[in-house]
A and B are shown apart, each in its own frame.
Chain A
Amino acid sequence: DTAVSQTPKYLVTQMGNDKSIKCEQNLGHDTMYWYKQDSKKFLKIMFSYNNKELIINETVPNRFSPKSPDKAHLNLHINSLELGDSAVYFCASSTPGTIYEQYFGPGTRLTVT
């Protein structure tokens, strides 16, 4: 009964490849987020979707494209991967009733070689 799940947990790939990370939440939340945690543990928001609509889009390269097929899913597709994309990517969710409490997934460690 995992609240926020991500797949895969680890992803190792070569430069130039295209990859996707999937996120699903079973909490009934309507807002979902993607965060990037770099090698120094710094966390920065990338995107946020509310009811399948993009509401936050920080300065992220166009190679990153979030896709929200429904309120329970927010996937992250990355084109033409670069070495600098290596990081841990976290998905999170919240709802207006608990907007001040974001629930985080376990993270996906992406390594680009």
Chain B
Amino acid sequence: AQSVTQLDSQVPVFEEAPVELRCNYSSSVSVYLFWYVQYPNQGLQLLLKYLSGSTLVKGINGFEAEFNKSQTSFHLRKPSVHISDTAEYFCAVMGAGSYQLTFGKGTKLSVIP
């Protein structure tokens, strides 16, 4: 079984400042890692995913994440946030050979003008 811990439930940040949203996972098997974004009153949209290969993955809207196997982390970063980035962000893990996504509890990113 897999589990995901998002270390911050809320992250306020000023516009144009950098941001990091933290995610740690645990699993007894190899994993695939994902970040999803949920804008208010909308469904989830995939930001980026790590399947294999380069540990630094780039996604949409200028986001990137780094897979760190030794620290079992997959933190999400953006060098300069915009008001439009205000949303809920979910880290998720899928065990190898599984169809099942396990989500973290989400981090609410609030961008302050």
Within 8 A of B (CB), among A1-57: 4, 31, 40-45, 48, 50, 55-56
Nearest B residue to A99 via CB reads B99
B80 within 8 A of A: no
A107 to B44, CA, bound (A): 9
Q: Which of B38, B44, B51 has the most CB of A within 10 A?
A: B44
Contacts of A56 in B (CB 8 A): 99-100
Contacts of B34 in A (CB 8 A): 100
Surface stretch bound by A, among B14-22, B62-70, B71-79, B101-109: B101-109
Show the binding face of A for B, using Cβ within 8 Å: 4, 31, 40-45, 48, 50, 55-56, 90, 92, 94, 99-102, 104-107
Digitize B79-113: 1 where CB-to-A-CB distance is under 8 Å, 0 elsewhere: 00000000010100010000111110110100000
**Shortest CB distance B86–A (Å):** 14
Nearest A residue to B94 via CB reads A100
Number of A-B residue pairs at CB separation under 8 A:
49
Q: Are B94 and A45 in contact (CB under 8 A)?
A: no
Interface of A is mostly: strand
> By the criterion of a CB under 8 Å from any partner CB, how many residues of chain B are at the interface?
23
Q: Are A45 and B90 in contact (CB under 8 A)?
A: no
- With A41-B105, A42-B105, A42-B106 as contacts: A104 and B43 at CB distance below 8 Å: yes
**Shortest CB distance B104–A (Å):** 9
- With A42-B106, A100-B32, A101-B49 as contacts: A90 and B43 at CB distance below 8 Å: yes
